[in-house]
Amino acid sequence: MNYSIPVIYVWIGTPLPPWCKESLKFSSDNNPKRKFILLSDSDKSRLNFAKDLINVESINIKNNLNKSKIFQSKNLFKGKFWKYTSLRFEVLNDFLLENNIKRFFHAEIDNLLFNFDELEKELDKVGYGMFIPRDNIDRGIGSFIYCNDHNCIEEILKKYLSIHNASNDMEALGLCLKENNNFFSLPTESFHQNAKYWNILNPKDCGGIFDAAAIGQYCLGIDPNNNRYEPSYNLFKNENLLIDFENEIIISDKKALYINYMNKKQLIRIYNIHVHSKNIKLAISFVRRGTLYYALTSKKRKIVSHHYKLYFGFLIKFYDLIILIIKKIIKTFIHGFSRIYKIKN
């Protein structure tokens, strides 16, 4: 079968999450004409699931972190998570060059993709470069990207080097969107308001809007890792959400999502939903009009992840406090011992 422009994923640094197969199956089933490619340094046995999916190919890669300019940067946020989300652009760039791929989509695995058969045709009419969801003047989000000029990846990598010294992937994408005319801002749910602050594509130019993060967080909550002591709930409103979801309606036809802007009488398709909470099963159930969907339409707050924290969150806080005290005692002891050693010598 001759597939259209591929969708390329990159997962490196940690083992593939258990929900990876469900996410890729949902997205690939919605887009049977696409080739979905997963690049990962996970153990090959973890990539075998792709054999069960007709239009998904998993490729095991090796990373030489010592040669990575990004991974060695002292300007990146602390924590390997941020380094790996940036390093993916080096991995992606190497793969594109090795396989002479000029045009591609890139998505993060915690995104469910709805059908987008005609999307590249619409975006090619706009121009050539990279198309990125943007929810802030200073940042772009790599949730679901289209690129018809592979040289744009090199431009992103430059933002991590001296002069710019980007600290994470969102900042690097934001710098490109601000400084390079070959980078285009895709419309999010707040496109009416965002258009006042930066150049942004109108949904008419691409047939819909894109979820950077806000839609998924409102419908399905935030990542439990960002909410250590409490469960994650739906109806979460992030700092870049500029519309009032109390007056707007998210609609599902059991295959895809739409947003109904009541005051403007606009019904617009949504191309992806960013499942920030990582609860892919619940997200798929939501799209298919499960119980959480009806809770959302009624504006009811529900726990979507880590229910146990409702009862045991105080124990987690106590545990963290004990660990903090132990670390301070050890640090004080080591500091005192080193001073005594210096005095004696």
CB atoms within 10 A of CB 285: 14
What single string gives the DSSP state of each residue in 166-225? -SSHHHHHHHHHHH-TTEEEEP-TTHHHHTTTS----HHHHTSB--SSHHHHHHH---GG
User: How many residues would you count in the chain?
Assistant: 345
Q: Say if CB 81 and CB 170 are below 8 A apart.
A: no
> Whose CA is closest to 9, among 73, 57, 71, 75?
57
Sequence-separated (6 or more) residues with CB below 8 Å from residue 330: none
**Could you tell me which residue, 338 or 7, shows the higher pLDDT?**
7
pLDDT in the model for residue 314:
66
Of 1-5, 64-68, 150-154, the range with the lowest mean pLDDT is: 1-5
Dist CA 42 CA 45 (whole Å): 8
Confidence tier at 339 by pLDDT (50, 70, 90): low
User: Which domains are present in the chain?
Assistant: 4-204 (3.90.550.10), 214-305 (no CATH)
CA 110 to chain centre: 6
| pLDDT at 57 (0 to 100) | 96
Average of per-residue pLDDT across 250-270: 91
Confidence (pLDDT) at 2? 56
DSSP of 32-74? TTEEEEEEE-S-GGGGGGGGGSTTEEEEE----GGG-TTTT-T
Q: Summarize pLDDT for 57-76 with one digit per residue, the tens.
A: 999 998 767 778 777 777 78
Least confident of 55-69, 148-162, 302-316: 302-316
**Gap between the Cα atoms of 87 and 95, Å rounded:** 13
Say if residue 277's pLDDT is above 80. yes
For residue 78, give both structure tokens.
């602390």
Find how far residue 200's CA is from the centre of its chain: 20
